[in-house]
């Protein structure tokens, strides 16, 4: 079997998850009658310290709902230039919400306080209204790097002083919390709303949660229906999500160690790895050949990966990647490098 390092989205549900899906209590969620969905939403909200939560098929939908529920058409939102919401969400913010994104340069996914202050629009007939500031923690394109609680607080304070809504794309917020040694709610306290994924390192087969104030979630629920996201007996999807929160969230440090070991091995082989950015379960590194060629040669050796630039590769560790797999991956890379 291939070792799949393309993403932690490739994780398959555990046997316990499959059993939970089979016996899940269900009802029509559009009527608010799915017991398992309601339990998942209540648990997710509590873990983030928020009043309410909404189960959605994907983090992309959750992020879009946060914009739709906060902004008006013609508004502007601010985020770091490499943010997932800007790069990988099919311009839904522009196409469906009618909202403009203003990007700012960042270091390891974090914008400076000075740049944020300057980017917030003053009241002027020529300008759109700045309505939202978005964070991403952990930061995908920066290599899974973590934004500290202190940085989140300082940036959020600047935004809130100007009346902006602060939203966090927390797809991997549990990874960030593990790295920092804090509870997820401590990071979520810095933001008005936050999404997080169940279907990445937490290994559920599908789904994310959007959390925030009750009135915000009520708006988001209606917009979810508008986007076609109203689900019926969805408890079969929520059941593995409960296991994700109760069990899988506790083992993420294992993925971080696996990533660190793999990154050190790659560096020893001569790959270009910035170890400072290897904080959670994502590794971005440079190879001395065309990235697509490297990916193809890896696949021939039973290892799946993604290229992220002309000479850049990304590996992502998860619960289905163990120590023996790392040894096999490093052997494949050594062979390709001709060592």
Residues 115 and 127 in one domain: yes
Last residue of a domain, one of 249, 272, 290: 249
338 falls in which pLDDT band (50, 70, 90)?
confident
Q: Does residue 85 sit in helix, strand or coil?
A: helix
Q: Are residues 182 and 232 in the same domain?
A: yes
Task: Give bridge partners of residue 53 from the DSSP assignment.
Answer: 211
Domain identity same for 161 and 280: no
Residues 146 and 23 in one domain: yes
Q: Which domain does 227 fall in, by range?
A: 11-249
Q: What band does 1 get if pLDDT is binned at 50, 70 and 90? A: confident
Residues 199 and 269 in one domain: no
Which of the four pLDDT bands, split at 50, 70 and 90, describes residue 339?
A: low
Check whether residue 231 and residue 287 sit in a common domain: no
Which DSSP string do the residues of 138-207 spell out, in sequence order? Answer: SBTTTTSB---HHHHHHHHHHHHHTT-EEEEE-TTHHHHHHHHTS-HHHHHTTSSEEEEESSSTT--SS-
Q: How many domains does the chain have?
A: 2
Same domain, 211 and 223: yes
Condensed to tens digits (0 to 9), the pLDDT of residues 195-249 reads: 999 999 999 999 999 999 999 999 999 999 999 999 999 999 999 999 999 999 9
Residues 149 and 198 in one domain: yes
- Compute the C-alpha angle 227/206/29, nearest 5°: 55
| Cα atoms in the Cβ-side hemisphere of radius 13 Å centred on 295 | 19
Q: What is the pLDDT of residues 102-136, one digit of tens each?
A: 999 999 999 999 999 999 999 999 999 999 999 99
Task: Please tell me whether residues 50 and 196 are part of one structural domain.
Answer: yes
The tens digit of pLDDT for each residue in 82-97 reads: 999 999 999 999 999 9
The reply to whether 290 and 217 lie within a common domain is no
Which domain CATH number covers 79?
A: 3.40.640.10
What pLDDT score does 319 carry? 96
Last residue of a domain, one of 206, 222, 249: 249
Helices (H), 164-273: 173-180, 184-188, 214-226, 235-246, 252-268
Q: Which of 214, 229, 249 is the last residue of a domain?
A: 249
Rounded to two decimals, the pTM is 0.97
> Are 257 and 311 found together in one domain?
yes
Do 48 and 187 have their domain in common? yes
């Amino acid at each position: 079997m291939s070792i799949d390092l393309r993403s932690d989205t490739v994780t398959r549900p555990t046997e316990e998850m499959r059993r939970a899906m089979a016996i899940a209590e269900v009802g029509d969620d559009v009527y608010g009658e799915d017991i398992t969905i309601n339990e998942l939403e209540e648990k997710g909200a509590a873990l983030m310290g928020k009043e309410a939560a909404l189960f959605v098929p994907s983090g992309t939908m959750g992020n879009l709902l946060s914009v739709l529920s906060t902004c008006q058409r013609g508004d502007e939102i601010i985020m770091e230039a490499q943010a997932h919401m800007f790069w990988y969400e099919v311009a839904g913010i522009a196409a469906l919400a009618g909202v403009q994104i203003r990007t700012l340069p960042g270091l390891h996914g974090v914008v400076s306080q000075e740049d944020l202050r300057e980017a917030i629009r003053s009241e002027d007939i020529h300008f759109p209204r700045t309505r939202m500031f978005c964070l991403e923690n952990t930061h995908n394109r920066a290599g899974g790097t973590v934004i500290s609680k202190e940085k989140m607080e300082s940036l959020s304070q600047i935004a809130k002083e100007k009346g902006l809504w602060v939203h966090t794309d927390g797809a991997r917020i549990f990874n960030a919390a593990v790295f920092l040694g804090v509870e997820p709610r401590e990071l979520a306290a810095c933001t008005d709303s936050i999404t997080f994924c169940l279907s990445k390192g937490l290994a559920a087969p599908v789904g994310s949660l959007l959390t925030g104030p009750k009135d915000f979630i009520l708006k988001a629920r209606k917009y979810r229906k508008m986007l076609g996201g109203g689900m019926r007996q969805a408890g079969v999807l929520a059941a593995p999500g409960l296991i994700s929160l109760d069990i899988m969230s506790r083992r993420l440090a294992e993925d971080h160690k696996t990533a660190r070991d793999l990154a050190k091995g790659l560096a020893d082989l001569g790959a270009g790895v910035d170890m400072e950015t290897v904080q959670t379960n994502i590794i971005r590194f440079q190879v001395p050949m065309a990235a697509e060629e490297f990916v193809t040669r890896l696949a021939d050796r039973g290892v799946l990966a993604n290229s992220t630039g002309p000479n850049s590769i990304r590996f992502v560790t998860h619960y289905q990647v163990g120590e023996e797999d790392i040894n096999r991956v490093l052997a494949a890379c050594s062979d390709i490098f001709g060592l």
